[in-house]
Amino acid sequence: MSLVRFLNVAKEYPRGGVALSHVSFQLGRGEFAFLTGPSGSGKSTILKLIYMAEQPTAGDVWVNKLSIKEARPRDIAKLRRHLGIVFQDFRLLEDRTAEQNVAFALEVTGTPRDAIMPKVGRVLTQVGLAAKGTAYPRELSGGEQQRVAIARALVNDPFLLIADEPTGNLDERATRGIFQLLRDINASGTAVFMATHDLDLIRRTNHRTLELNHGRIVYDSSEPSMDERGAPQASSVGQPPASPLNAGGVA
Amino acid sequence: MMALREALTAFRRAPLLTTLGVVTIAFSLFAFGLFGLVALNIRDALQKVEERVEIRAFVADGTPVEAASAAMGDIHAFPEVASVVYVSPEDALVQARKELGEFSDVFEPGVLPASIDIKLKPGHRDPATVEAVANRVRAYDFVDDVRYGEDWVAKLYRLRTIATLVGTGLGLAFAAVAVIIIGATIRIMVLARAREISIMRLVGATNGFIRMPFLLEGFLQGVLGGLCALGLTWATQEAISRNFLQTNFFDARLATLGVLSGAVIGLLGSAFAVGRHLRQL
């Protein structure tokens, strides 16, 4: 049973041209998958469609059986309570401590007050920031801020963690730490879908990889036959059809 | 409960922005309040002059008191009439001498005729009604003449109409300016918290949940701004009354209405600004 399903999805912006066309794929429960491709290839659009911040121009997207075409605002709000979303720029509230930032995700979803702090403490421990709960974002390093953002994404026990370039602003050491954290989270049963430019990161693991170019999926490591079918896609990216692990040409 | 806590937290977290909102509402309503004060006092002054509109029917010499009394009963029953008073020649002389002061000896006893003085109810003091009542009174045989100051009644009525029109126009303009300024301020406050709103949405808060603290905040700011405006207007009125001119202040009903209008503007301004912001996200 797939957790996320894209079927012939297209997305065009009124002034931004075609962002996605004929995108179809599925993501299973508990899976870890990378989404890669050059800037402007449509990675963020796919993630936005998963958390239903955008509507497709054609096709359909299902997340946990909820169709994006039938979802009402209230359904989308409920869905997001089961998704963790992490961004490159952390998106923390600067005037709140790490604890308060994490607690915020519980408060706005109506969690009883006495249940909030134990949960916050648990996730801050999980991300290795138990001792920095009272620190403000400006007092934390980039890696630590991203850990707070991940803790906030985890606190509602999501079935899927969506990470949009989570290591894009981090140095090598912090990147390794965040990536290991995401793998640990995945090991505990949460599916992780991570958009990244970092090919080294992808090469170091054997997780499923989807590659986008010009709004189309040109490579999916879970479909070995795609290499054989890849001739037309190869011309669209100007390189031999191959996994990004050896393509080397992805920006 | 969470919404109220968030609204109060917003006051604490952004005191400058919150104060800006309250001050903007206060000064916008203060300007409106000052205008209201001027309009109120002009209305009161015109009302006082209007109360002096009366029809005086001069009674012919030798008219039996019974005939005059019966007519007065009839006139009092007119729906437009508030009061009817019989003024004997002696009373008329006393009144004239009082009004003329140092020239009081101009009138000799017996010169002035008796009269029936008729006052009209509020709302029936326009020139057409006054003339109509005067004509009906003139129809009595014993009435020699009827006077009601045709010219100044018409002028007074015109002045009142102009004052009402200008007052309403200016009032609406002041109110519109207040609403626009307050709306813009609230929009700035919403934009300042755009990041917070976008995060709220990402973690699954419903639009209603996001909106509620803003509405409460707008309402509270409106009430505070309204109270400040009321205080400022009162202080100004007191200063004017003590130093320049005795003026009237709003009654409790109008004062409450002023504060409530601040609350409503704050609430609607917030609802509009947040709604617009949520639609754009």
Q: Which residues in chain A have Cβ-Cβ distances shorter than 8 Å to B205?
A: 77, 108-109
pLDDT of residue B127: 82
Instruction: Give the residue with greater pLDDT, B117 vs B66.
Output: B117
Q: Which residues in chain A have Cβ-Cβ distances shorter than 8 Å to B209?
A: 108, 110
Q: Which amino acid would we find at residue B7?
A: A
Q: Which residues in chain A have Cβ-Cβ distances shorter than 8 Å to B10?
A: none
User: Would you call A109 and B203 a contact, using CB atoms and an 8 Å cutoff?
Assistant: yes
Which of A243-246's residues contact partners 24+ apart within 8 Å by CB, and which partners? A243/A209, A243/A211, A243/A219, A244/A36, A244/A199, A244/A202, A244/A209, A244/A211, A244/A219, A245/A199, A245/A202, A245/A203, A245/A209
Taken in order of first residue, the domains within chain A and their CATH numbers are 1-82+160-165+191-251 (3.40.50.300)
ipTM, 2 dp? 0.80
Residue ranges covered by each domain of chain B = 2-48+157-280, 54-147
pLDDT, average across residues B74-86: 89
pLDDT, average across residues B102-114: 73
pLDDT for B255 beyond 80: yes
pLDDT, average across residues A242-250: 47
Residue of chain B minimizing CA distance to A72: B206
All residues at 6 or more sequence positions from B158 whose CB lies less than 8 Å from its CB, including other chains: none
User: Would you call B204 and A81 a contact, using CB atoms and an 8 Å cutoff?
Assistant: yes
Q: Among B195, B205, B281, whose Cβ lies nearest the Cβ of A108?
A: B205
| A11 burial level (CB within 10 Å; 0-12, 13-18, 19+) | buried
DSSP summary character for residue A223:
-
User: Would you call A107 and B198 a contact, using CB atoms and an 8 Å cutoff?
Assistant: no
Arch. (CATH architecture) of B54-147: 2-Layer Sandwich (3.30)
Please, what's the largest Cα pairwise distance for chain B? 96
Cα Rg of chain A (Å, integer)? 18
| B264 burial level (CB within 10 Å; 0-12, 13-18, 19+) | middle
Nearest Cα of chain B lies from the Cα of A108 at a distance, in angstroms, of 5
Structure-token pair, residue B206:
């419903």
User: Would you call A73 and B206 a contact, using CB atoms and an 8 Å cutoff?
Assistant: yes
User: Would you call A80 and B199 a contact, using CB atoms and an 8 Å cutoff?
Assistant: no
Q: Which residues in chain B have Cβ-Cβ distances shorter than 8 Å to A83?
A: 204
Q: Is the pTM of this model over 0.80?
A: no
User: Would you call B199 and A91 a contact, using CB atoms and an 8 Å cutoff?
Assistant: yes
In this prediction, what percent of chain A has a pLDDT beyond 70? 88
CA atoms within 13 A on the CB side of B123: 3
Q: Which segment of A40-49, A159-168, B154-163 scores lowest on mean pLDDT?
A: B154-163
Q: Please give the backbone phi and psi of residue B61, each rounded to the nearest 5 degrees, phi first.
A: -60, 140
